[in-house]
Amino acid sequence: MSTAPALTLRREAEVLAAPLPPLLVAAQQLAASVQMGGHGRRRAGAGDEFWQFRAAAAGDTARAIDWRRSARSDAQYVREREWQAAQSVFFWVDAAASMRFSGAATRPAKAARARLLALALAVLMVRAGERVGLLAPPAPPRPGRAQLLRLATLLAEADAAGDYGAPEVAGLAPQGRAVLISDFLGDLGAVEAALAAAAQRGVTGVLVQVLDPDEEAFPYDGRVIFESMGGSLRHETRAAGDLRARYLARLAERRDRLARLAQAAGWQFGTHHSGQPATAALLWAYAALERGR
Amino acid sequence: MGALGAIGFSAPWLLAGLAALPVLWFILRAVPPAPLMRRFPGVALLLGLADRETQAERTPWWLLLLRVAALAAVIVGFAGPVLNPAQMAAGGGPLLVVMDASWAQAGHWARAQDRAARALDEARAAGRAAAVLALTDLPGGRLVFAPAGAVAEALPGLAPRGWEPGEADWRALLPEGAFETLWLSDGLARAPRAGLLAALGARGAVRVVQPSGAVLALGAPLLLDGALRVPVLASGAAEPVEVVARGPDPAGIERDLARISAMPGAEAVFDLPPELRNRITRFEIAGLRSAGAVALTDDSLKRRKVALIASSTAREGLELLAPTHYLRQALEPSAEILEGTPEDMLLAAPDVVILADVAQVAEPEKLADWVAKGGLLIRFAGPRLAAGLTGADDPLLPVRLRTGGREVGGTMSWGAPRTLAPFAPDGPFAGLVVPGDVSVRAQVLAEPAPDLAKHTIAALDDGTPLITRARLGEGWVVLFHVSANAEWSSLPLSGLFVQMLERLAVSTRPAADTSTELAGATWVAERVLDGFGVQRAAGELAGVAGEVLAARALGPTLPPGIYAAGERRVALNVVAPGRALMAAEWPADVAVESGTEAPSALPLKGALLAAALALLLADVLASLAVSGRLRGARVAAVLLALALLVPAAPPARAEMDPARAMTVAGGVALAYVPSGDAGVDRIAAAGLLGLSQVLYARTSVEPGPPLALDLETDDLALFTFIYWPVTAGSQAPSPAAYARINRYLRGGGMILFDTRDADFAGFGSATPEGRRLQALAAPLDIPPLEPIPRDHVLTRAFYLVQDFPGRFTGQAVWVEAAPPDAELAEGMPFRNLNDGVTPVVIGGNDWASAWAVDDRGVPLMAVGRGQTGERQREIAYRFGVNLIMHVLTGNYKSDQVHVPALLERLGQ
């Protein structure tokens, strides 16, 4: 009897599972800080919660008539319930090389923060009864805690080639919701195209830009060769401090453009810095998802 | 060696490297500071942004200057710059290095040797032959030249001598042919110089190196008017010097006995008590290593203590007939005279006891003992001695004497008065001239015996012994067969009398007329001085005749030092009495290099390389700053590292506050060691206050207010008694404090350790306090302990107590164990126990709580119950009183074992 293959399998599985519990636990903890309210569709439909009584119209079956209410008056009333159909929420977390940046050892990489945010939002959504799924790597939306575990696995191992990621919207179901988390430092054309495609399918959602404080402040001086994380881009300067104002102007311009894009498509756009606690960003994203409903 | 003014270079060709500096300048200018690689996702936003400034493309000029300066410092440093290089004209032919090598050169011998080594080094570099001639240590034959390297190797073997160069046949001694001479002079003028200079000048150029400072020396010490005067000689103007008198202290350890500052050319006057003065063995100039700076002392400076004892019934008014009159006259200028009874005299530890016409001494055994330990007893005959003679053997007489005596040349006798026979050449009086007018009219006679001749050291012309002497133990007994006054002979009236006393080492003469004094004896060197003024054992130096010694011709056969003949000691000092030191003058045609110690060559290599290193460090910082890598935290880190390089000042030593020390030393101080627990400390203070009040009321001990002890700073020696309450959390003192506590315990202090736990834990285990106590006491020097035995002195130091309660009672209290050989004395209720105070008392009865009172004297803590409790408190106080009494009086009560013996003695 050979145990070697089993041992190998198990070791690989453990390596694979290693980042999962912390990520999931962190996401659960983050999500626990958000109090859940009622979460209906605000219109009549299939559901558990009472929505309204309305006068019975032709075509209503006799079973639909609420006899208790009808007995108090001459007309017949039908009891309607609030529509509580679950919605699909799609997440896309940029896993490109640029997300691996961290300006200081004390700060998490942007990708880690982005994954945490996404998973925490997913936890909240699952708790609210929604179905959650991933756009890349593709994971069809499903409800339940088991899906969380799957998402966590996929997020932890997600890795994209290239310096800058482009949003993946191919898997979007119509009328769904989408959460796109990235630093949006790459080509904005891809974002624009993705938003257009999403809008065509009636999908609204949230754009969360995760930036490192160093990217926001540009605290560099002297002679520096800047290189992108993947090494594909490179820029040499002899006085980095001199570039600061122009860099910040470009960053602001890009953010402004993103905001306008989002507004045009009916999306929400927000920026989060990895130097700050994740809770604020989570609350904002959650509220933004609620608002857009 | 290349030279540029005051700076020379040992490798000047390296300076050519300085020419490369401009090249370096251009290279450095062309290369911008190395860029920093930085990963940055935001680079996408930077693309296309052009630098506005182009300044940083090139290294800033000041950074360039810094680097070039650093490199220049390195180049110049390795070129071996030397400030004030030794100048030596590179002549041709062999080089002769002449060194005076006298005591006057010993003071700067290292520099002279250095100078010679340098000259030889240069000679070797130039391939010249060389030779070294030390004038105090002349070679046996003609000097030959050898390769300079080999000569330089022999140089460290040369040492200055304690004498000065003398005349010699220079023609036979100096090497053949022409040569150049470097003469390292000691700076003193002396006659033989001229001859040697002429001989050297005939062979080639002479170059003289002479120290610029004056030569200092000490003259012969003189005892005048009871003060020691040491002349300080100098060959020129000099700063005041410190003259040190050295000698053994009472324990026999050589140390400074006195120090006096004196101007060169003047005298250092030491006014010292005779005890101190007699111990001085040498004077020296502090800090000067030269035989000339040392003046050895000999007998002439010692005033010996002479006890003059005459028979008690002096005849009034007959001053000139008193038996001690002439003795006193002879001894007074040169000796301390003590007069009184023999018993008193012996207590004053005299060197000599003179009994003038004393027949019987009260305690002859004591006197004999004193003589046997090395004393000198001189007796004079006289009517009483003659009358008291019994013919019996007296140990205090060198020979047996016949009863009665003889008279010659008197009115009732036939013969003429006798004169003295010449002294035997081997006796102590050898060489003394017998004056013709000394006559003897009466004397006591020795019983004929086989060894009479051996004992006789002076005789009359008819052969009868006049002075006899015999050894007694390590001392001598000498008998003058005549009286000490002029009744029996005219000897005391003559100068010979004084000389004889001197020879017998009774007295010493202040200003010794050396030639006659020294003549006639062979003197053996005991200790000799080397050129540096260090005393060494003489070894196997041959003895010298007194005449040679008197001539003072110092040399290899007659080094300076202490010479001895019999009991006499003579110091032969380097500087002859009356000598004046003069600076050497050289003819105008001789090149004189002023001073071997003049600005000494100072190599600058190290300083320059250090400067280069500092510049490079600055360059590192500047480069970082220019390339933007020096930011916030890093600057702080660099500054912090620099700050750490600066050595921290040593912490100030904690000292006891003088005012507190005064208070503590002013009385009996009871103190406690703070435990760190405020409640325990308060009770400890209150307890000691209660005990103090009881002591004050009941005993003669009047303690001051209790004090909290600071083990780290307080001087423990000032504290009588220390109470140390131990809690489980007591802080251990520092190692230094432990050392002080151990010293305190060894010095008779006492510590009462109180665990305050009544030892609740019982058998086989310890309470937390007990364990803490073990940890605290581990580093202390605590002797073996035992529970207080019933006959310990603590049980009766003041009160009779057998129990030692505090708030708790019944637990064993531990003290130093009795010695294993303690025995129960006959008829005594207690043993003769420890001699001394037990250093520690250890218990757990919480005494402080039982003693504690508040400001009004009301007990603070309840003890026991009702009357029994009050009784227990009383016993606790009694224990405290006993404890303090034990500290203060030690084993006084233990001495009662001796009471029967004392009573017995009183009964007599």
Following DSSP, what letter does each residue of B687-742 receive, concatenated? HHHHHHHHHHHHSS--B---EE--TTTS-GGG-SEEEEE--TTPPPPPHHHHHHHH
Within chain A, strands assigned E span 50-55, 77-81, 88-93, 131-136, 139-142, 177-182, 204-211, 224-227, 234-237, 268-273
When pLDDT is cut at 50, 70 and 90, the band that residue B833 belongs to is: low
To the nearest whole Å, the CA of A164 is away from the closest chain B CA by 9
Across the interface, whether the CB atoms of B32 and A238 are under 8 A apart is answered yes
Of B303, B219, B235, B216, nearest in space to B269 by CA: B219
Q: What are phi and psi of A14, to 5 degrees?
A: -70, -40
Q: Averaged over B526-553, what is the pLDDT?
A: 82
- Based on the domain organization, do A91 and A73 belong to the same domain? no
**What is the DSSP annotation of B242-292?**
EEEEEEE-TTS-EEEEEEEEE-TTSEEEE---HHHHHH--EEEETT--SGG
- Based on the domain organization, do A129 and A251 belong to the same domain? yes
A185 domain-assigned:
yes
The two tokens of residue B515 are: 């030639």
Q: Averaged over B240-265, what is the pLDDT?
A: 85
How far apart (Å, rounded) are the C-alpha atoms in residues B34 and A185?
28
User: B-chain residues within 8 Å CB-CB of A254?
Assistant: 45
When pLDDT is cut at 50, 70 and 90, the band that residue A250 belongs to is: very high
To the nearest whole Å, the CA of B619 is away from the closest chain A CA by 16
- Based on the domain organization, do A136 and A62 belong to the same domain? no
Q: What pLDDT score does A209 carry?
A: 93
To the nearest whole Å, the CA of B24 is away from the closest chain A CA by 22
Q: Where are the alpha helices (DSSP H) in B177-216?
A: 192-201
Give CATH for domain B95-214+583-598. Answer: 3.40.50.410
Tell me if residue B583 falls in helix, strand or coil: strand
User: B-chain residues within 8 Å CB-CB of A229?
Assistant: 39, 41
When pLDDT is cut at 50, 70 and 90, the band that residue B3 belongs to is: very low
Pick the residue from chain A with its C-alpha nearest to B52.
A242
To the nearest whole Å, the CA of B46 is away from the closest chain A CA by 6
Comparing B426 with A16, the larger pLDDT belongs to B426
Across the interface, whether the CB atoms of B41 and A224 are under 8 A apart is answered no
Pick the residue from chain A with its C-alpha nearest to B34.
A223
Q: Which of the listed ranges B197-201, B627-631, B900-904 does the model predict with the highest average pLDDT?
A: B197-201
CB contact at 8 A, B469 and B398: yes
Q: What pLDDT score does A254 carry?
A: 93
Burial of B317 (0-12, 13-18, 19+ CB in 10 A): exposed
CB within 8 Å of B434: residues ≥ 6 apart: B419, B420, B421, B422, B423, B496
Picking from B35, B41, B627, the nearest residue to A236 by CB comes out as B35
Across the interface, whether the CB atoms of A224 and B51 are under 8 A apart is answered no
Q: What pLDDT score does A51 carry?
A: 80
Which of A73-87, B174-188, B687-701 has the weakest average pLDDT?
A73-87
Name the residue with tokens 């007893």: B377
- Based on the domain organization, do A80 and A159 belong to the same domain? no
Task: Using a CB–CB cutoff of 8 Å, tell me whether A189 touches chain B.
Answer: no
To the nearest whole Å, the CA of B611 is away from the closest chain A CA by 28
Average pLDDT, chain B: 80
To the nearest whole Å, the CA of A54 is away from the closest chain B CA by 59
When pLDDT is cut at 50, 70 and 90, the band that residue B510 belongs to is: very low
To the nearest whole Å, the CA of B768 is away from the closest chain A CA by 46
CATH assignment at residue A96: 3.40.50
CA distances B85 to B96, B186, B537, B600, Å, are 21, 22, 42, 8
Q: What pLDDT score does A71 carry?
A: 92
Pick the residue from chain B with its C-alpha nearest to A164.
B41
A100 domain-assigned:
yes
B216-288 and B658-898 have identical folds: no
Q: What pLDDT score does A255 carry?
A: 93
Q: What pLDDT score does A212 carry?
A: 92
Across the interface, whether the CB atoms of B46 and A222 are under 8 A apart is answered no
Host domain of residue A57: 40-85
- Based on the domain organization, do A201 and A117 belong to the same domain? yes
A109 domain-assigned:
yes
Across the interface, whether the CB atoms of B54 and A238 are under 8 A apart is answered yes
B624: how many CB neighbours lie within 10 A of its CB? Answer: 17
Which of B31, B38, B43 to probe by mutation at the A interface, max A CB count within 10 Å? B43
- Based on the domain organization, do A183 and A244 belong to the same domain? yes
Picking from A215, A221, A233, the nearest residue to B47 by CB comes out as A233
Q: What pLDDT score does A38 carry?
A: 44
Which of B46-60, B336-350, B735-749 has the weakest average pLDDT?
B46-60
Picking from A98, A223, A241, the nearest residue to B36 by CB comes out as A223
Task: List residues of chain B with CB under 8 Å from any CB of chain A.
Answer: 32-47, 49, 51-57, 626-629, 631
Task: Using a CB–CB cutoff of 8 Å, tell me whether A130 touches chain B.
Answer: no
pLDDT at B828 over 60: no
- Based on the domain organization, do A209 and A143 belong to the same domain? yes
Domain count, chain A: 2
User: B-chain residues within 8 Å CB-CB of A220?
Assistant: 38, 40, 628
Q: Averaged over B757-767, what is the pLDDT?
A: 66
A244 domain-assigned:
yes
Average pLDDT, chain A: 82
A2 domain-assigned:
no
pLDDT at A65 over 60: yes
- Based on the domain organization, do A44 and A94 belong to the same domain? no
How far apart (Å, rounded) are the C-alpha atoms in residues A92 and A74?
55
Residue by residue, what is the 3-state secondary structure of B518-555? HCCCEEEEEEEECCCCCEEECCCCCCEEHHHHHHCCCE
CA distances B310 to A156, A194, B200, B240, B380, Å, are 122, 139, 70, 50, 10
Which of A182, A191, A221, A244 to probe by mutation at the B interface, max B CB count within 10 Å? A221
User: B-chain residues within 8 Å CB-CB of A214?
Assistant: 40
pLDDT at B174 over 80: yes
pLDDT tens, B253-281? 888 888 888 888 888 888 877 677 778 88
Q: Which of the listed ranges A73-77, B199-203, B236-240, B389-393 does the model predict with the highest average pLDDT?
A: A73-77
Across the interface, whether the CB atoms of A237 and B52 are under 8 A apart is answered no
Total beta-carbon pairs less than 8 A apart between chain A and chain B: 110
When pLDDT is cut at 50, 70 and 90, the band that residue B655 belongs to is: low
Across the interface, whether the CB atoms of A215 and B33 are under 8 A apart is answered no
H or E stretch at B644: helix B632-645
The two tokens of residue B899 are: 């009471």
Overall fold of domain B304-503? Rossmann fold (3.40.50)
- Based on the domain organization, do A53 and A99 belong to the same domain? no
- Based on the domain organization, do A251 and A164 belong to the same domain? yes
Q: Averaged over A260-268, what is the pLDDT?
A: 90
Q: Averaged over B277-298, what is the pLDDT?
A: 85
- Based on the domain organization, do A278 and A214 belong to the same domain? yes
Q: What pLDDT score does B439 carry?
A: 85
CA distances B337 to B324, B347, B350, B353, B498, Å, are 11, 14, 9, 10, 15
User: B-chain residues within 8 Å CB-CB of A216?
Assistant: none
Of A162, A159, A158, A209, nearest in space to A181 by CA: A209
CB contact at 8 A, B831 and B823: yes
Which of A226, A237, A247, A256 to probe by mutation at the B interface, max B CB count within 10 Å? A226
When pLDDT is cut at 50, 70 and 90, the band that residue B215 belongs to is: confident
Percent of chain B with pLDDT over 70: 85
Percent of chain A with pLDDT over 70: 82
CB contact at 8 A, A20 and A157: no
Homologous superfamily of B658-898: Domain of unknown function DUF4159 (3.40.50.12140)
The domain spans of chain B are 2-33+54-84+609-644, 95-214+583-598, 216-288, 304-503, 514-572, 658-898
Of B156, B4, B173, B161, nearest in space to B76 by CA: B4
pLDDT at B459 over 80: yes
A4 domain-assigned:
no
Picking from A101, A222, A242, the nearest residue to B627 by CB comes out as A222
User: A-chain residues within 8 Å CB-CB of B53?
Assistant: 238-239, 242
Across the interface, whether the CB atoms of B44 and A215 are under 8 A apart is answered no
A32 domain-assigned:
no
Which of A180-189, B37-46, B54-63, B575-584 has the weakest average pLDDT?
B54-63
Task: Using a CB–CB cutoff of 8 Å, tell me whether A250 touches chain B.
Answer: yes
pLDDT tens, B615-640? 988 888 887 777 666 666 666 776 77
Q: Are strands B707-708 and A88-93 parallel, antiparallel or unpaired?
A: unpaired
CB contact at 8 A, B558 and B524: no
Across the interface, whether the CB atoms of B43 and A237 are under 8 A apart is answered no
Domain boundary (A19, A53, A85) is at: A85
The two tokens of residue B25 are: 């300048």
- Based on the domain organization, do A121 and A257 belong to the same domain? yes
Pick the residue from chain B with its C-alpha nearest to A213.
B42
CB within 8 Å of B681: residues ≥ 6 apart: B672, B674, B675, B708, B725
pLDDT tens, B400-425? 888 767 776 656 666 777 888 888 88
pLDDT at B650 over 50: no
To the nearest whole Å, the CA of B32 is away from the closest chain A CA by 9
Running DSSP on this structure, what letter comes out for residue A208?
E
User: B-chain residues within 8 Å CB-CB of A251?
Assistant: 42, 45
Q: What pLDDT score does A39 carry?
A: 53
How far apart (Å, rounded) are the C-alpha atoms in residues A169 and A157?
19
pLDDT at B835 over 60: no
Q: What pLDDT score does A1 carry?
A: 45
When pLDDT is cut at 50, 70 and 90, the band that residue B517 belongs to is: low
A29 domain-assigned:
no
Domain boundary (A30, A59, A85) is at: A85
Overall fold of domain B216-288? Immunoglobulin-like (2.60.40)
Which of B31, B38, B39 to probe by mutation at the A interface, max A CB count within 10 Å? B39
pLDDT at B89 over 80: no
Q: What pLDDT score does A210 carry?
A: 93
CB within 8 Å of B842: residues ≥ 6 apart: B752, B753, B755, B773, B777, B785, B813, B814, B815
Task: Using a CB–CB cutoff of 8 Å, tell me whether A247 touches chain B.
Answer: yes
